[in-house]
């Protein structure tokens, strides 16, 4: 019984770790402009770290739909699915 419980906990931890890695990998290209972990290093780029999920999703959706002005984000956002945008939103909301 204990072994089964331990195995279940380990599997759950691995699942969380795998999800964290997937989110971090998905967010890696954002660092080019928005800084490591979404912490922008210049005032010319909006920080993503700590941005509430609903704001991130709304902005990315607006970029993708062409309703929010951008230099390159409207092109970049077209490459993400709704699920990926939600995953990125959760990742950046968790950053401090």
State the angle between helix axes of 82-93 and 2-27 in degrees (0 to 180), rounded to the nearest 10: 100
Q: Which residue has the higher pLDDT, 52 or 10?
A: 52
Residues 6+ apart with CB under 8 A from 23: 87, 88, 90, 91
Closest CA to 64 of 56, 54, 73: 73
Cα 62 from chain centroid? 16
Q: Which of 85, 88, 66 is nearest to 75 (CA)?
A: 66
Question: What is the three-class DSSP state of 26?
Answer: helix
Whether 69 shows a pLDDT value over 90: the answer reads yes
For 50-64, the pLDDT digits (tens) are 999 999 999 999 999
pLDDT at residue 89, as a whole number:
97
For the chain, list the domains and their CATH numbers.
24-93 (1.10.760.10)
Above 60 in pLDDT, residue 14?
no
How confident is the model at residue 10, as a pLDDT? 47
CB atoms within 10 A of CB 48: 25
Give the mean pLDDT of 20-36.
Answer: 91
* Total-model pTM: 0.78
Would the pLDDT of 21 be above 90? Answer: no
């Amino acid at each position: 019984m204990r072994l089964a419980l331990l195995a279940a906990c380990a599997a759950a931890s691995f699942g969380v770790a795998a999800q964290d890695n997937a989110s971090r990998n998905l967010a890696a290209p954002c660092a080019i402009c928005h800084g490591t972990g979404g912490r922008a290093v210049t005032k010319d780029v909006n920080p993503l770290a700590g941005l509430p999920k609903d704001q991130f999703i709304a902005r990315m959706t607006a970029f993708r739909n062409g309703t929010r002005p951008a230099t390159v984000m409207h092109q970049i956002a077209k490459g993400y699915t709704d699920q990926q945008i939600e995953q990125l939103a959760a990742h950046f909301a968790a950053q401090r």
